[in-house]
Every structure is written in structure tokens, then in C-alpha cells.
Amino acid sequence: MRAVIQRVSEASVKIDGIIKGEIKTGFMVLLGIEEADTQEDVEWLSQKIANMRVFGDENGLMNKSLADVSGNVLLISQFTLFASTKKGNRPGFTRSAKPEKAIPLYEYFIKSLEMLLNKKVATGEFGADMKVSLVNDGPVTITMDTKNKE
């Protein structure tokens, strides 16, 4: 499981011109799920995201978590995070999980984050053509991969 986490002052996702999800302060998370991923990956990554301290404190240091700043999450499924670019100019996506595996893990990820944050998580729609807008605050962008926990 791979995530790109961006600290944002605002973010939204539109599908067919209609806003599906939007947040103010928080994280916009692009989530890629691969065939090898399990519920353990969901639990580890959602815990890391919920507790990540990258929001400024009174001294301007990145010491506060989402809970500390009443932040929200906009979660977007992003199978292209597992693109292989080794051969040719057209990326391959064979590592990305098929929908029958990815959708249940994506839905479990949403529930896990909602439980950890004790609030609703805004989302896009799995497999839809989405238009994502955000204002990256900082900018702060962090990538995480559950296969690189050490």
C-alpha cells in the first residue's frame, strides 16, 4: 500500500462537475493498493496517517497531528501510484490491485481512519474519473509505503 500525503489548507474532488468531497485544514491522501496488500497494511498506514505530526505548533515546529488541529482527510484512490516505468514509455499497472481486492481494502481504510479520527473522511469514488484540487500547505508532501516500514 502506498500513500502520498499532502498537508492542505483546502482540497476537493469533483466527479462530472459535482463536488464529491471537500475539506479545509488537513490531509489530502492519494492511496494506491497493490495485490500483496492486507488489512494489516491498512491498519499500519491509517495509524501512521492519523498520528502524523506535521502541523505547526505555537513555535512554528511541526509537532501537531490531525486531532490537535481538528483536521480532516480527503482520501482518493490512485492505482497509478504503482506504475512501472522500467520498460518503454507507457507505464504498466500490473502491481496495482484489481477492483475485487482493492475496493474492500479501500473501504476498510476509510472505516479505519474514521474510527481513529472519530470523524467522517471525505472521499472520491473508486475508479471514477476525478478532478482533484488542493492548496498544499507548506508545501508538505510525504510518501509512505507499507512495504518499507523499517
Q: Which residues are tagged catalytic? A: 80
Query: Which residues, 6 or more positions from 64, have their beta carbon under 8 angstroms from its beta carbon?
Result: 53, 54, 55, 56, 57
CA 16 vs CA 66, 91, 131: distances in Å: 30, 26, 9
C-alpha cell at 12: 476537493
